Amino acid sequence: MTTDATSSGPPTGLRESKKQETRQLISDVATGLFLAQGFEQTTIAEIAAAARVAKKTVTNYFPRKEDLALDHQDAFTASLAGTVTGRQAGESALSALRRAFADAAADADPVAGFSGLDFARMIADSPTLSARLRDLHDLREAALADALADATGSPRGDITPRTAAALLGAVHRTLFQRIQELTLTGQDNARISATVIAEADSAFGLLEPSLADYAAA
- Please count the helices (runs of H) and the strands (runs of E) in the chain: 11, 0
pTM for the full model?
A: 0.88
Full pLDDT tens readout for the chain, 217 residues: 333 444 455 677 888 888 999 999 999 999 999 999 999 999 999 999 999 999 999 999 999 999 999 988 999 999 999 999 999 999 999 999 999 999 999 999 999 999 999 999 999 999 999 999 999 999 999 999 999 999 999 999 999 999 999 999 999 999 999 999 999 999 999 999 999 999 999 999 999 999 999 999 8
Task: Write the class of the CATH domain 73-211.
Answer: mainly alpha
- Quick one: CA torsion of 22, 23, 25, 31, rounded to 10 degrees? 160
Taking the domains of the chain in order of start, what are their residue ranges?
A: 8-69, 73-211
- CATH superfamily for 8-69 is Homeodomain-like (1.10.10.60)
